Structure 1
Amino acid sequence: MNYRTHIVSSLSEIGREAWDALVAAQERPNPFLSFAFLDALHASGSACAESGWQPQFIVLYEGEGDAATLAAALPMYVKMHSYGEYVFDWAWAEAYERNGLDYYPKLLSAIPFTPVTGPRLMAVDARTRAALLEVLVATQQASPVSSTHILYPPEEQAQLLADAGYMLRSGVQFHWLNQGYRDFDAFLATLEQKKRKNIRAERRKVREAGVTMRRVRGVDATDADWRLFNRCYRHTYAAHRSTPYLNLDFFQRIGRDMPANILLVIAERDGAPIAAALVIHSDQVLYGRYWGELEHVPCLHFEAAYYQPLEFCIEQGIAVFEGGAQGEHKMARGFLPTRTWSAHWLAHPAFADAIERFLERENGGIDDYIDELTDRSPFRP
């Protein structure tokens, strides 16, 4: 079939209804692919050309004129740096620089600042997905870029990319699985005795410090709640001498446009808020996202960012809690290792060969690492 191909720099060129309809047609979509989330990133200035994230979405339309429908799309950016990606290629960029070559700009398909697996080659059917992949390959070959990187695709899409000549890279995240627990104590009962004891001790420390927890659904969150969260978020970045990726405008936008997917956890002491966590969820999956504190309390991070969301998952029947990037410490709290994928194409043949050899060694190490972690399960035999 013939498709009309467009490269768009703004989601407004596609429209909310058409974009969200395509997302909903995918297998295992997530809230981060929604028009509301992506538009909030772009409109707030968090991910835009000025911040080194130039949107360059590839879209395919089927039909002509007013009857044309969105058949496929790939969220893609021209990147001028490697910040906010969570699949690290800084060493590759440094190798290019040492050899007098430019690594940037590069092409990146990902959700900015969001290490969550989800569809990247979005299409209405397999034939259209194949056409989208052909357009991607043609685009990267015709563009003055060093490379293309597709981050956190599902495994089946990673294999499609491998068949098209991309090199695959593995990573590890830690996810919690809801086994139909009656309550938090029922979950604790499945853990080894030492792990169970440590979690209870961590939660007790927070209570004994006089801290109370409040969960706020997105539909009930006020502007004051969002301003508080933003203060906590920025304060924690400043404490680590880092610059936050996101801003108040972004948080207010997702609070307004996707409230059903949001839960805020607010910690208070003596009637004053001292910390907050933000998680995003669908009916089936909860995603740990952002955290910040104005005052340090031992173990409060675990309570706000892990134990309160775990209780929420159990109460709401949410099947999976994806804990975000990295964090082997999550295993002691009932999270298990899960493989993630990324796919990479490099234009320079010699660098492509060198990185392919590197990835062969690295992927073998990831296999061994997952085997080792699996042998250290926190659950009772």
Structure 2
Amino acid sequence: MDYRTRIVSSLAEIGQPGWDGLVAAQDEANPFLSYAFLHALHESGSACADTGWEPHYLSIWQGERLAAAMPLYRKFHSYGEYVFDWAWAEAYQRHGVDYYPKLLSAIPFTPVRGGRLLAIDEKARAALLAALLALQQEPGVSSTHILYPPPPQAKALAGAGFLLRSGVQFHWHNEGYASFAEFVDTLDRKKRKNILAERRKVSEQGVRFVQLRGAEIEEAHWRFFNRCYRHTYSDHYSTPYLNLDFFLRIGRSMPQNLLLTIALRDGHAIASSLTVHDRDTLYGRYWGALEHVPCLHFETAYYQPLEFCIAEKISWFEGGAQGEHKMARGFMPQKTWSAHWLAHPGFYDAVEHFLQREEGGIDGYLSELNERNPFRDPPR
């Protein structure tokens, strides 16, 4: 096929119809791959060259038609990735070799599985992968890292010389529950008792909740949520990745995918959580509180969204990165993948050996977690 390769520094160069049309053709699409979400990250200054996320999207064209593309960045640090390679960067530094910039395919600040090699068909996908292999051979590229690809794409990347790394997340599955009470009743006695006690503690403090969907979320709500989000980062002596402009942008451009849960006490808003969803999956994303109430985090960021999933018949709730505590709330471990290529032969071999040892530990960890199944009977 007569394909043309092009590096794109702004999604505006492709346009929303072209990008979203390509995403819609994927089996592993989600709201985070949408033009609205990615463009908001870039245009708000949350993920841009100034913050160490330089858009470097690789695209394949068939005439004027976008045939394939991948979200790709030149990264100048390893913040906001959730697949940690700090030790690799430090090893490079100790040996006087530059690790940054590196190439990274991921959704910034978002540890969610989804398509990375986006294509209209397998021929175009093969052309995209070939273009990536050529791009990463250029001078000044230390390595390429592709985070949270779906298993078929991870397998294709391994066949192209990438090293695979596994990880663990915790996801909740809706078994067709008619109510939250029905779900809780499937857990073992101790887990069920603890959840009911946590919910009771919040209720006894006079806290009630409002769930706002899409266009119901007004600018004042976004400003309040941003305060909560920033306050929680400050409490952990950290700097937030996102800003108010980003939240306002997604509020305007993708309201159909947003659920904002606000906690109120004595008529005053004190906490909130933002989740993103499509018809099949709800994704836990951001939360924050201005006041401390025992167990408020669990109610706002887990139990209220779980009730939403049950009411809307949403099949999955992905809780984000890490967090064994989620198992006590019905979330079960799921293996995730990332793919890595390093230009330096010596470091490639060293990382390959490290990942082989790490994989055994991950498999053992998964077995241990599954033995601690929180359900009275194993889920179907």
What is the TM-score when the length of structure 2 is the normalising length? 0.99
- 1:144 Cα shift? 1.1
Aligned: 1:88 with 2:84: yes
Determine helix, strand or coil for the equivalent of 2:375.
Answer: coil
Select which of 299, 303, 306 maps to 1:303: 299
Q: How far off is 1:202 after superposition?
A: 0.2
How far apart in 1 are the matches of 2:232 and 2:209?
Answer: 19
Structure 2 partner of 1:370: 366
Deviation for aligned residue 1:143: 3.8
**Alpha-carbon separation, structure 1, partners of 2:327 and 2:214:** 28
Aligned residue number for residue 33 of structure 1? 33
Equivalent residue for 2:97?
101
Aligned partners of 2:232 and 2:316: how far apart in 1?
A: 27
1:295 aligned counterpart, secondary structure: coil
- Please name the residue that 1:129 is paired with: 125
Structure 2 contact 28–150 (Cα < 8 Å) conserved: no
Match in the other structure for 1:178: 174
Query: What displacement does 1:28 show?
Result: 2.5
Which residue pairs with 1:61 in the alignment? 61
**Secondary structure at 2:137's aligned position in 1?**
helix
Distance 1:149 1:296 in 2: 39
Amino acid at match of 1:57: Y
- Number of aligned pairs? 377
Question: Residues of 2 paired with 1:296 and 1:37: CA distance?
Answer: 31
Determine the structure 2 residue equivalent to 1:46: 46
The 1-side partners of 2:265 and 2:73 are apart by 43
State the distance in 2 between where 1:18 and 1:127 align: 19
Could you say which residue in structure 1 is the equivalent of 2:17?
17
- 1:2-37 C-alpha deviation (Å, 9 max, x unpaired): 101100100000000000000000003000000000
Partners of 2:359 and 2:152 in 1: how far apart? 17
Q: Which amino acid aligns with 1:144?
A: G
Cα distance, 1:210 vs structure 2: 1.0
Percent of aligned positions that are identical: 68
Letter in 2 for 1:47: A
Report the CA distance between 1:46 and its aligned residue.
Answer: 0.2
| CA-CA distance at 1:128 after TM superposition | 0.9
Quote the Cα distance in structure 1 between the aligned partners of 2:27 and 2:254. 20
1:202 aligns with 2:188: no
Segments of structure 2 that go 5 or more residues without pairing to the other structure are none
Unaligned stretches of 5+ in structure 1? none
For residues 111-164 of structure 1, what are the alpha-carbon distances to aligned partners after superposition, in whole Å with 9 as ceiling and x for unaligned? 000000000000011111111000000000014111000000001100000000
Name the CA distance, whole Å, in 2 between partners of 1:2 and 1:299: 58
Q: 2: CA distance between counterparts of 1:328 and 1:143?
A: 41
CA distance in 2, matches of 1:368, 1:127: 38
Q: CA deviation at 1:178?
A: 0.3
User: Does 2:109 align with 1:113?
Assistant: yes
Give the aligned residue type for 1:9. S
Q: Secondary structure at the match of 1:290?
A: strand
Letter in 2 for 1:45: G
1:334 equivalent among 326, 330, 337: 330
Structure 1 residue 274 corresponds to structure 2 residue 270:
yes
Amino acid at match of 2:135: T
- Cross-structure match for 2:254: 258
Residue 379 of structure 1 aligns with which residue?
Answer: 375
In the other structure, the counterpart of 1:324 is 320
Which shows bigger deviation, 209-218 or 42-51? 209-218
Among candidates 61, 67, 70, match of residue 71 of structure 1: 67
- Partners of 1:123 and 1:340 in 2: how far apart? 22
CA distance in 2, matches of 1:244, 1:43: 17
TM-score, normalization by structure 1: 0.98
Q: State the alpha-carbon separation in 1 of the partners of residues 70 and 293 from structure 2.
A: 43
Aligned to 2:163: 167
